Amino acid sequence: MQCSYFDAGACRSCGWMGRPYDEQLAAKAAHARELLADHTGAHWLPPVASAESGFRNKAKMVVAGTREHPTLGILDAAGHGVDLQGCGLYPDGLRAVLPVVQRFVTRAAIEPYDVPARRGELKHVLVTQAEDGALMLRFVLRSQEAVTRIRKHLPALLAELPRLAVVSANILPEHRAVLEGDLEIPLTERQTLTMDVGGVPLHLRPRSFFQTNTAVTAALYAQAAQWVAAAAPTSVWDLYCGVGGFALHLPARDVVGVETSPEAVQSARTSAAQLGRPATFVAADATAWALAQPAAPDLVVVNPPRRGIGPALAAWLERAPVDRVVYSSCNAVSLARDLAAMPSLAVREARVFDMFPQTTHYEVAVLLERV
């Protein structure tokens, strides 16, 4: 992939831009193998490749500039806006939305947030596109000052973007380097975007986490389902289940998903009801919930954040009567650390999934079996 922003030095977010893609994929697979080198009996499946461009289902755009001339993209070292509306990581349908949103910012007179001066209102614009083209749009604001004007001009925006299904305002009053705040104000009647992944409808709410590469995510869920089917467990726990992606793909009679976000749990319950699946979803801390249960399941799936599952859950898995674990990780370093704390669980199969082409990041999934 070639990128004019990268070539001009305007954006260096994709550190491997211009590197041949087959080399990228091979390097990620080699890195994962090196970190898991102690598991000599592991069978490594071929890595799952991604499209090199147009693969992201979500645009996270920092808003800067002025309300007459807003920029959507990133900030430079001085805190000034760099417009990246033509970024090749986004598919055509998603890129086409950005100029419309830019004009809307001017029409609704929303002042972009000035990071160096710590004044203004609009911090981020977040746009998510489903496989069918439907869109979710979120305005991340410093306060509710602009919400009335957004509501006033929203009908015209919906008329211009008929694919726009969900709109909300998120309030982030603090001057912090985070993406969103705790308060979400719905601006449309509909507040879920249906993401079809491998034939399973996942209902995404505004503050729910979802992988940015839908095609590779489908391959990841399919691989986990294949491992689980081969093990034929009766009961499965999906810890850190998010909106239920793994849980709702798994072929088991008794599936329980655990996630701290009540919003994500509600989304998972909606999907389960639509599919007629008897899966149960619980809003709780995954570690605390697992440690409090009177009995363990046949198989556990874990898909933690970058920090990994941590020593407490790793210690529980090490001593629990669980014969198999499917561990999906976005950080192979923390995965290796967690595996070192579970010596009774050996890696039988492993696979790299390239969620993030043009960068050093990737997802790796492993099937663990008790020695």
Residue owning tokens 């798994």: 250
How far apart are alpha carbons 224 and 217 in whole angstroms?
A: 11
Catalytic residue among 11, 14, 241, 330, which?
Answer: 330
For residue 56, the tally of other CB atoms under 10 A from its CB is 23
Residue owning tokens 């000034």: 80
How far apart are alpha carbons 47 and 24 in whole angstroms?
A: 11
Q: Mutual orientation of helices 332-340 and 21-35 as an angle, nearest 10°? A: 20
Contact indicator for 271, 202 with CB cutoff of 8 Å = yes
DSSP structure string for 213-270: BHHHHHHHHHHHHHHHHHH--SEEEEET-TTTTTGGG---SEEEEEES-HHHHHHHHH
Residue owning tokens 């499946």: 45
How far apart are alpha carbons 155 and 252 in whole angstroms?
A: 45
User: Both tokens of residue 114?
Assistant: 């000035």
Rg, C-alpha atoms of the chain: 22
Pairing state between β 345-353 and 43-44? parallel
User: 14 an active-site residue?
Assistant: no
Q: Which residues are catalytic?
A: 330
